[in-house]
Amino acid sequence: MNTTLHRLSLLATAAALTVGLAACDRNDNRTAGQQLDSAVAKTEAAAQDAQNKAAEAASDLKASAQEAAAETKAAAQDAQANIAEAGRDAKEAAKDAAADAKAAANQAGAEIRQEAREVKAEASAAAAKVGDAVGDIATTASVNAKLAADSELSAIRIDVDTKDGVVTLTGPAPNAAAKARATDIAKAVDGVKTVNNNLTVN
């Protein structure tokens, strides 16, 4: 049905063309039927050519659209992959930063604890030295008091020096017995470890 209508339309068009050609070209020796067939053939050829060109253009457009869609899809996939990779890099960087911070905190804590131990040890040593110094001063005072209580030794100037419990006696002694007695007196004082008797007998 549609084919018949299409052919009749073409025939009408060709007839119109023939009439026009006849009016324009009176010298054409072909019959009206031949001219009509020629016009119809030309019209069909032109229509077929137009249809072919339209089909070709549609095919090219479809291919271009498919190519553009493929390129868009590839670009989207690349972008997605880049975003995923950036996310992994950021996550790894954050993990490394956290590990570095933890290591730094541990190192700082270890250094602080070590310094605290050293300060404590130094403080203990200083306290011990102060305690020893106080003890030596008390020992010196006790030895001086004991020597001052002796009838012979109280009359002379005896220097008493104590260091770490070691008492050193310096000065004159009236006789050897008094010198020996000075050693015994110093040894009897609490905290005295040993006595260096440097007294000189006059």
Contacts 24+ apart (CB under 8 A), 166-169: 166/193, 166/194, 166/195, 166/196, 167/139, 167/140, 167/143, 167/192, 167/194, 167/195, 167/196, 168/195, 168/196, 168/198, 169/195, 169/196, 169/197, 169/198, 169/199
Tens of pLDDT, residue by residue over 146-172, are: 888 888 877 788 898 998 889 999 989
Label residue 113 by pLDDT band (50, 70, 90): confident
- Evaluated on CA atoms 119, 125, 126, 128, the torsion sign reads positive
Average of pLDDT values for 125-134? 68
Q: What percent of the chain has pLDDT over 70?
A: 82
What element of type H or E holds 166? strand 166-173
Instruction: Map tokens 């996939």 to a residue.
Output: 77
pLDDT of residue 35 exceeding 90, the answer is no
Q: What is the pLDDT of residue 166?
A: 92
